[in-house]
Amino acid sequence: MFDREIFKAVVGEIDDTREVEKLGCDDCFERVDGFIEAELSGLNASEAMPLVHEHLYICGECRDEFGALLEALRAVEDPSSPVPEVLDRLWRRVTPSYAR
């Protein structure tokens, strides 16, 4: 028997747990678009999505993916727009000094 209420309760619990745990690579990859969007829309992405920021900072693999995404964005954007500066700023913020 499948009880929808129990299922929802269990899923809700998993979600709650995930909030306090560190982000995994898959979660990070799912949210990284929003992270960039936040910065582009004038928010401080690191403050809006601290878990994504933290994961990018500690995970070189995801940071590489993130860098590739930034490069792709840079390539399609109008060079006269201020977007590249925003992307550079974001990149510097998630890159530890030893990885620069």
Query: Where along the sequence are the contacts to Zn ion (CB under 5 A)?
Result: 25, 59, 62
**Shortest CB 19 distance to Zn ion, Å:** 18
Do residues 75 and 69 make contact, with C-beta atoms less than 8 angstroms apart? no
**Shortest CB 66 distance to Zn ion, Å:** 9
**Shortest CB 59 distance to Zn ion, Å:** 3
Residue 65 buriedness (CB in 10 A; 0-12 / 13-18 / 19+): middle
Nearer to Zn ion by Cβ, of 51 and 83: the residue is 51
Measured from the Cβ of residue 49, the count of other Cβ atoms closer than 10 Å reads 23
